[in-house]
């Protein structure tokens, strides 16, 4: 059996017009080939679909049933064509994103994600929270399509786009002596005199290393009083007077009673935020749409 979609479309036209001449005109073919194709269809399915004489054409019971099935098949084909075209345009599909725990506090990123969600509501977005180093393996295997992370050493298969540089700031508790520098900004060297609260290294790997490097470059050997895995925990410990903490600017969106945020005097004290993908693996069109949106909203908007 070699029934083709054109056979179904020919039959539907005849069934709807109940006239071979009008159906042929509608299909932009001559009547004899149309009659031959309908006869071929009936022979292949071994059922008479149409009763015809010199005056009338009507559907047989088998023809009525076959018309319903033909409608469904053609409808499914049309839907598949539309879906394939939309997927090619990035309007449909699945998108997996790796993100660090600080990403939800990056206003530039979250606003872009919301715009993407509103523009492409039919794309299924799967968010995976991982620290910077944890994103590398799933980017290599394709488990995630793109990753939003801090700057780190990448294997040669991965490439990055710098989204923006985020200033480091200081979180101190109410009444802390460093508040005297609120208007003039805080010199990093002054932090040698105070206990610090750090991210746990296996949670905020990139931030841990960046902050440690920042302090070392300023000649500060840090006294780490506490380590915590969550930003809110760190700020809660700061509010409780357990120490102060170097954080990135995005954290200042969190308003915690008893915590004040101070700027650092070193303008080069920044953390890079990267958009990372696998250059050896073709990312879905949906992921490319988000990449273009992030670059346009953040990089090109500078």
For residue 292, what are the CA distances in angstroms to 13, 161, 298? 44, 11, 10
Does 296 share its domain with 210? yes
Does 52 share its domain with 103? no
The tokens for 170 are: 């200081």
Select from 292, 99, 268, 262 the least CA-distant residue to 186. 262
Q: Quick check: 209 pLDDT over 90? A: no
Does 107 share its domain with 33? no
Q: Quick check: 252 pLDDT over 70? A: yes
pLDDT bin (cut points 50, 70, 90) of residue 101 is: confident
Domain boundary among 56, 72, 89: 89
pLDDT in tens, 37-52: 999 999 999 999 999 8
Does 159 share its domain with 247? yes
pLDDT bin (cut points 50, 70, 90) of residue 205 is: low
Domain of 14: which CATH number? 1.10.10.10
Domain of 218: which CATH number? 3.40.190.290
Does 181 share its domain with 70? no
Q: How many domains does the chain have?
A: 2
Q: Quick check: 226 pLDDT over 80? A: yes
Domain boundary among 89, 110, 145: 89
Does 174 share its domain with 74? no
Residue-level pLDDT at 106: 92
Residue-level pLDDT at 212: 92
pTM over 0.85: no
Does 156 share its domain with 36? no
Domain boundary among 26, 61, 89: 89
What is the Cα–Cα distance from 133 to 136, expressed in whole angstroms? 6
Are residues 229 and 102 in contact, defined by beta-carbon separation less than 8 angstroms?
no
Does 194 share its domain with 242? yes
Enclosing domain of residue 55: 5-89
Does 142 share its domain with 99? yes
């Amino acid at each position: 059996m070699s029934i083709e979609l054109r056979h179904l479309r020919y039959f539907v036209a005849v069934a709807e017009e109940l006239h071979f001449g009008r159906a042929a005109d509608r299909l932009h073919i001559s009547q004899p080939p149309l009659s031959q194709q309908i006869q071929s269809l009936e022979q292949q399915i071994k059922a008479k679909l149409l009763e015809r004489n010199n005056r009338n054409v009507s559907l047989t019971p088998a023809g009525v049933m076959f018309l319903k099935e033909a409608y469904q098949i053609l409808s499914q084909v049309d839907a598949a064509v539309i879906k394939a075209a939309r997927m090619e345009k990035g309007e449909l599909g699945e998108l997996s994103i790796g993100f660090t725990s600080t990403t939800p506090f990056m206003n530039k990123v979250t606003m872009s994600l919301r715009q993407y969600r509103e523009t492409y509501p039919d794309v299924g977005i799967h968010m995976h929270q991982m620290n910077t180093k944890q994103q590398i393996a799933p980017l290599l295997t394709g488990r995630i399509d793109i990753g939003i992370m801090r700057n780190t050493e990448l294997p040669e298969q991965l490439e990055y786009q710098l989204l923006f540089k985020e200033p480091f700031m200081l979180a101190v508790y109410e009444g802390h002596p460093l508040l005297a520098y609120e208007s003039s900004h805080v010199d990093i060297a002054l932090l040698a005199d105070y206990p610090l609260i750090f991210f746990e290294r296996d949670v905020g790997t990139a931030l841990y290393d960046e902050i440690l490097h920042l302090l070392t470059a300023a000649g500060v050997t840090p006294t780490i009083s506490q380590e915590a895995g969550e930003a809110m925990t760190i700020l809660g410990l700061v509010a409780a007077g357990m120490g102060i903490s170097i954080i990135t600017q995005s954290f200042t969106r969190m308003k915690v009673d008893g915590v004040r945020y101070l700027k650092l005097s070193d303008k080069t004290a920044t953390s890079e935020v990267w958009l990372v993908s696998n250059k050896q693996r073709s990312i879905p069109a949906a992921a490319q749409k988000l990449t273009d949106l992030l670059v346009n909203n953040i990089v090109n908007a500078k």
